[in-house]
Amino acid sequence: MKPNSQIEQSVFSASPETNARARQQALNAMPPQIAMQDGVINYRSRGHLVILGPEDLIRLVADQIQGLNSITLVVMGNVSSQDDEHLEKAMQASAQLTPIYLPFSTLSGWLGEFSLTLKAPNGDEINPAEVSTGQSHFDLVLDLNETPVISSELSPPGYFHVGTTHERLAEALDQLNGMIGEFEKPAYIQVNHDICAHADRGNLGCTRCLDVCPADAISTRIDTLTHDPQIDINVNLCHGAGSCSSACPTGALTFMAPGPQRWLDQLRLCLDSYAQQGGEHPAVLFHAEQTSVALDDLPSHLLPFSLEEVATLGAEIWLSVLVHGAGYVALLIDEQTPPSLKALLENEVALTGRLLEALGHPAQRLSLIHATSMDQEIAKLEADLTEWFGLPAGPAYPYQGKRTTLNQAFDLLYQQGAASDDPVSLPKGSPYGQVIVNSDDCTLCMSCVSICPTAALTSANDAPVLSFLEGDCVQCGLCENSCPEKAISLESRFSPASGIRTESKVMKQEDPFHCISCGKAFATQSTIEKISQKLEAHPYFQGEAAKRLKMCDDCRVRDSYRELAADPTAQLRL
| Best CA proximity match to 247, nearest among 491, 478, 474 | 474
What is the average pLDDT across 298-307?
Answer: 94
Q: Return the bridge partners of 305, or none.
A: 286
SS3 content of the chain, % helix, strand, coil (to 5): 35, 20, 40
Q: What is the pLDDT of residue 7?
A: 41
b/e per residue 521-555 (b: at least 16 CB within 10 A):
ebbbebbeebeeeeeeeeeebeeebeebbbbbeeb
Helix axis angle for 55-62 and 84-92, nearest 10°, is 50
**pLDDT, tens digit (0-9, with 9 covering 90-100), for 499-508:** 899 999 999 9
In the structure, how many helices (H) and strands (E) does the chain have? Answer: 18, 27
Q: Which residue has the higher pLDDT, 31 or 432?
A: 432
Q: What is the pLDDT of residue 58?
A: 95
CA 470, CA 413: separation in Å to the nearest integer?
18
Cα angle 498, 502, 505 (rounded to 5 degrees) comes to 115
3-state secondary structure 322-347: HHCCCCCEEEEECCCCCHHHHHHHHH
3-state secondary structure 391-460: CCCCCCCCCCCHHHHHHHHHHHHHHHCCCCCCCEECCCCCCCEEEEECCCCCCCCCHHHHHCCCCCEEEC
Q: Which residues contact 522 (CB under 8 A, 6 or more apart)?
A: 512, 513, 514, 515, 552, 553
**Contact call for residues 37 and 257 (beta carbons, < 8 A):** yes
CA 307, CA 33: separation in Å to the nearest integer?
8
Q: Return the bridge partners of 138, or none.
A: 114
**pLDDT, tens digit (0-9, with 9 covering 90-100), for 257-285:** 788 999 999 999 999 999 999 999 999 99
What are the structural domains, with CATH classification, of the chain?
Answer: 6-35+261-416 (no CATH), 42-184 (3.50.50), 187-255 (3.30.70.3270), 424-509 (3.30.70.3270), 515-573 (no CATH)
Q: What is the pLDDT of residue 3?
A: 34
What is the average pLDDT across 213-217?
Answer: 94
| Best CA proximity match to 270, nearest among 38, 22, 2 | 22
| Best CA proximity match to 434, nearest among 359, 494, 363 | 494
Count of CB atoms situated within 10 Å of the CB of 92:
11
- What's the Cα-to-Cα distance from 59 to each of 189, 253, 373, 451, rounded to whole Å? 40, 44, 43, 58
CA 520, CA 541: separation in Å to the nearest integer?
21
- What is residue 52's three-state secondary structure? strand
DSSP 194: G
Q: What is the pLDDT of residue 573?
A: 54
Amino acid at 48: H
Amino acid at 462: D
Q: What is the pLDDT of residue 299?
A: 94
Count of CB atoms situated within 10 Å of the CB of 288:
24
The H or E element containing residue 83 is none
CA 386, CA 476: separation in Å to the nearest integer?
38
**pLDDT, tens digit (0-9, with 9 covering 90-100), for 325-383:** 999 999 999 999 999 999 999 999 999 999 999 999 999 999 999 999 999 999 999 99
What is the average pLDDT across 554-566?
Answer: 80
Count of CB atoms situated within 10 Å of the CB of 436:
13
| Best CA proximity match to 413, nearest among 305, 473, 332, 494 | 494
| Residues making up the chain, counted from first to last | 574
Q: What is the pLDDT of residue 35?
A: 52
CA 205, CA 542: separation in Å to the nearest integer?
41
Question: Quick one: pLDDT band at residue 521, thresholds 50, 70, 90?
Answer: confident
pLDDT, mean over the chain: 90
What is the average pLDDT across 533-541?
Answer: 77
**pLDDT, tens digit (0-9, with 9 covering 90-100), for 156-194:** 999 999 987 788 999 999 999 889 999 999 889 999 999
**Phi, psi of 389, deg, nearest 5:** -85, 145
**Statement: residue 448 has pLDDT above 60:** yes
User: Pairing mode, if any, of strands 159-161 and 140-143?
Assistant: parallel
Which of 52-66, 186-200, 430-444, 558-572 is predicted least confidently?
558-572
User: Pairing mode, if any, of strands 253-255 and 189-191?
Assistant: antiparallel
| Best CA proximity match to 138, nearest among 252, 47, 227 | 47
**Contact call for residues 256 and 190 (beta carbons, < 8 A):** yes
**Contact call for residues 269 and 321 (beta carbons, < 8 A):** no
DSSP 368: E
**Statement: residue 54 has pLDDT above 80:** yes
CA 525, CA 253: separation in Å to the nearest integer?
41
